[in-house]
Homo-oligomer: A and B are copies of this chain.
Amino acid sequence: MTAILDSLAELRHALSPSQVLLPSDGLDRYQRSALDGFAGRAAAVVRPRTTDEVRVVMRWAYRHRIRVVAQGANTGLVRGGLPDETGATVVLSLELCRQRLELDVVNRTVTASAGHDLGRLNEELAGHGLLLPVDVGSNPSVGGMVSTNTGGAKVLGFGDVRRRVLGLEVVLPDSDATVLNMLSGLRKDNSGLDAKQLFIGTGGVFGVEVTARPRQVATAWAAVRDDESAFALLQQLEESVGDFLTSYELTTRNVLEIRARHNPGLRLPFPDGRVPELAVLVELSTTLSSRAGLSVEDLLVDALDRAAGLGQVLDAVVGPHDDMWAIRHGGDEFGREGVSYWVDVSVPRSRLAEFRRRFFGLVEERFAGWVPLALGHYGDGGVHAGVLYPHRRGSCDPAEVESLRDELYDVVADLGGSFSAEHGIGPYNQRFYHRHKDPALQALSGLLKSVVDRRSILGVADFGPSGQG
């Protein structure tokens, strides 16, 4: 520890004192997960402003063999950007990297330093009728979105962050802190290995393709009988109005009931207060102005009428965008109802119905007292699967959650799915990576990581086979 402190003095000198925060400065917001209160312990938090300063930090870390964890806005869900509990890790916070924010309107690209946040970026784009179509509940940094390949509630319509990244500038963890400049802003470049794909995860400056802001949006909730009907409806929508379909989100009855119970202002849009077994939020949008003669609301109403005629839908209500999404996004009602845990998985869409049945069955049969919940990006094959132990039942055993995760991920693997659809690995998912990832892929990933990060100084996830760090 003394060695780290000595070397930190060197860094305070190379940067400026305010860019190197020590535990005595109070590091809580860089160490604590907003999700579950987990707190690691950092030796320091280093905050470079420019690529050159990132290089100073990486050269320093390489020389002293100090482990560095890159962090953006600390909104991650798998502890991938947090220090561990040893107190020997340095957090490389990119929050001050905000030098560049350059919009190329003709090219429809924006180049932004890692520390800008999604909200700020979209504010800048809105002035030009443009949008980076990432729709998540938090306000991540652009560097963080690249590092985790952020998904969200519009992946169905617009794809994930990886699909939009046209360029990256990367600082390597080697002796010289080599800079890879892959900031071309090109939509097409087949002049070699697409190396940036390896670095979705390293900080710096990056460039993304943006899209036009929709001028019309129509949103509805539809009650469906079962998962099979949910997919029949999805297929009918894709078939008839697929060009406009941007979201397709599923919610189970208990989620709706808990939300309604703790939010008196929230009105569920189903007739006579009946809460359906399953409901989906459907959103259509287009950049076409309504003056062009097309109304996506009319399209949505027609498609839902057709669905009712086909028995795919029991009830459906088109309503104001914000009210409809408030039901989907909710607030902190689960915390008020009990102790809850969520995981984020994906399976092929054609297996989602089976997944949900097996997940609910597993909880009901094997985990007495726990209530299974599901909130899904069903349109893209993703589902947030949760379990809740209600306060009224007394206290629960958190160890049960870990054994539930074991069994649940076995189901996911059996259905050809992923134990982490959107959130990454991080310490939170590390043991499942070792359990479920094809060993040949683990071996290859470990080798590739060792080529790029020879001293193993970067990040907290272990991509190689278990025990070979």
Chain A 232-253 against B: per-residue CB contact (8 Å), 1 yes, 0 no?
0001001111111000000000
- Chain B residues in 8 Å Cβ range of A437: 191-192
Q: Which residue of B lies closest to A418 (CB)?
A: B189
A189 CA to B429 CA, complexed, in Å? 13
Contact in complex: B422, A190 (CB < 8 Å): yes
| Minimum distance in angstroms from A216 CB to a CB of chain B | 10
A332 within 8 A of B: no
Contact in complex: A243, B240 (CB < 8 Å): no
Contact in complex: A191, B292 (CB < 8 Å): no
| Minimum distance in angstroms from A125 CB to a CB of chain B | 14
Contact in complex: B163, A188 (CB < 8 Å): no
A39 within 8 A of B: no
A244 CA to B242 CA, complexed, in Å? 12
A89 within 8 A of B: no
- Chain B residues in 8 Å Cβ range of A425: 190-192
Report if A186-B106 is in contact (Cβ < 8 Å); known contacts: A180-B440, A198-B193, A441-B195. Answer: no
A141 CA to B238 CA, complexed, in Å? 28
A212 CA to B236 CA, complexed, in Å? 12
Contact in complex: A381, B235 (CB < 8 Å): no
A47 within 8 A of B: no
A419 CA to B288 CA, complexed, in Å? 36
Report if A105-B190 is in contact (Cβ < 8 Å); known contacts: A184-B418, A294-B293. Answer: no
| Minimum distance in angstroms from A174 CB to a CB of chain B | 10
B-contacting residues, A405-421, CB 8 Å: 416-421
A184 CA to B349 CA, complexed, in Å? 11
Pick from B190, B235, B289, B348: contact of A186, CB under 8 Å = B348
Contact in complex: B197, A155 (CB < 8 Å): no
A138 within 8 A of B: no
- Chain B residues in 8 Å Cβ range of A193: 198, 441, 445, 448-449, 463
A180 CA to B109 CA, complexed, in Å? 34
- Chain B residues in 8 Å Cβ range of A212: 238-239, 242-243
Max chain B Cβ within 10 angstroms of own Cβ: one of A104, A197, A424: A197
A101 within 8 A of B: no
Report if A451-B440 is in contact (Cβ < 8 Å); known contacts: A188-B382, A292-B299, A420-B190. Answer: no
Report if A348-B185 is in contact (Cβ < 8 Å); known contacts: A242-B212, A294-B294. Answer: yes
| Minimum distance in angstroms from A162 CB to a CB of chain B | 7
Pick from B186, B243, B302, B436: contact of A191, CB under 8 Å = B436
Contact in complex: A106, B188 (CB < 8 Å): no
Contact in complex: B190, A289 (CB < 8 Å): no
Contact in complex: A441, B190 (CB < 8 Å): no
Report if A106-B448 is in contact (Cβ < 8 Å); known contacts: A148-B190, A191-B420, A381-B188. Answer: no
A438 CA to B463 CA, complexed, in Å? 27
Contact in complex: B188, A107 (CB < 8 Å): no
| Minimum distance in angstroms from A436 CB to a CB of chain B | 7
Contact in complex: A417, B186 (CB < 8 Å): yes
B-contacting residues, A437-469, CB 8 Å: 437-438, 440-442, 444-445, 447-449, 451-452, 463
Q: Which residue of B lies closest to A149 (CB)?
A: B190
A424 CA to B192 CA, complexed, in Å? 7
Contact in complex: B179, A350 (CB < 8 Å): no
| Minimum distance in angstroms from A452 CB to a CB of chain B | 7
Contact in complex: A162, B381 (CB < 8 Å): no
A16 CA to B251 CA, complexed, in Å? 55
A222 within 8 A of B: no
A336 within 8 A of B: no
A181 within 8 A of B: yes
Chain A 302-335 against B: per-residue CB contact (8 Å), 1 yes, 0 no?
1000000000000000000000000000000000
A452 CA to B189 CA, complexed, in Å? 22
A51 within 8 A of B: no
- Chain B residues in 8 Å Cβ range of A423: 190
Q: Which residue of B lies closest to A194 (CB)?
A: B197
Contact in complex: B302, A186 (CB < 8 Å): no
Q: Which residue of B lies closest to A446 (CB)?
A: B193
A71 within 8 A of B: no
Report if A107-B287 is in contact (Cβ < 8 Å); known contacts: A194-B162, A244-B243, A438-B180. Answer: no
Contact in complex: A448, B445 (CB < 8 Å): no
| Additional 9 contacts, C-beta under 8 A, given A190-B421, A197-B198 | A106-B349, A149-B190, A159-B163, A185-B348, A189-B421, A193-B441, A195-B445, A239-B287, A448-B448
